[in-house]
Amino acid sequence: MRFGVPQMTERIIPIAEARYPTRPPVIPADAAPASGLLLDTRGRRLHDLRLSVTDRCNFRCTYCMPKSVFGTDYAFLPQTSLLSFEELTRIARIFVAHGVEKIRLTGGEPLLRRGIETLIGMLAELRTPQGVPVDLTLTTNATLLARKAKALRKAGLHRITVSLDAIDDAIFRQMNDVDFPVADVLEGIDAAAAEGLLPVKVNMVVRRGVNDSQILPMAKHFRGTGHILRFIEFMDVGASNGWKMDEVLPSGDVIQRINAVFPLAPIDPNYGGEVAERWRYQDGAGEVGVISSVTRPFCAECTRARVSTEGRLYTCLFATEGHDLRTLLRGNYSDDQISAAIANLWNQRSDRYSEIRSDATAGLRRIEMSYIGG
Ligand code: SF4
> What does the pLDDT look like over 216-269, one tens digit per residue?
999 999 999 999 999 999 999 999 999 999 999 999 999 999 999 999 999 999
Q: Which pLDDT belongs to residue 30?
A: 76
Task: Name the band, by pLDDT with cuts 50, 70 and 90, for residue 18.
Answer: low
pTM of the model: 0.93
Query: Where would I find the beta strands (DSSP E) of the chain?
Result: 22-23, 48-52, 102-106, 135-140, 160-163, 200-206, 228-233, 264-267, 277-281, 287-291, 304-307, 312-314, 322-324
Instruction: Return the axis-axis angle of helices 182-194 and 145-155, rounded to nearest 10°.
Output: 20
- Residue 374: predicted pLDDT: 77
Give CA–CA dist 66/222, Å, rounded: 28
Which of 49, 233, 353, 372 best tests ligand 1's pocket when mutated (most atoms within 8 Å of CB)?
353
15-372, superfamily in CATH? Aldolase class I (3.20.20.70)
For residue 363, what pLDDT is reported?
Answer: 87
How far, CA to CA in Å, does 49 sit from each of 92, 111, 338? 8, 18, 16
Is residue 278's pLDDT more than 70?
yes
Strand partners, 22: 322
Check pLDDT > 90 for residue 90: yes
Mutational test site, ligand 1, from 106, 351, 358, max ligand atoms within 8 Å of CB: 351
- List pocket residues of ligand 1, CB cut-off 6 Å: 293, 298-299, 302, 304, 316-318, 351-354
**Amino acid 10: pLDDT:** 43
Please report the atom of ligand 1 found closest to the CA of residue 354: 1
Q: Which of 304, 348, 361, 366 to mutate to test the pocket of ligand 1 (most atoms within 8 A of CB)?
A: 304
For residue 136, the CA-to-ligand 1 centroid distance in Å is 21
Provide the residue ranges of all domains of the chain, joining segments of one domain with +. Answer: 15-372
Distance CA 335, CA 337 (A): 5
Nearest CA to ligand 1 atom 4: 299
pLDDT in tens, 288-342: 999 999 999 999 999 999 999 999 999 999 999 999 999 999 998 999 999 999 9
Buried b (16+ CB within 10 A) or exposed e, 306-343: bbbbbbbbbbbbbbeebbbbbebbeeebeeebbbbbbb
CA–CA distance, 162 with 147 (Å, rounded to integer): 14
Neighbours of 360 (CB within 10 A): 8
What separation in Å is there between the alpha carbon of 350 and the centre of ligand 1? Answer: 10
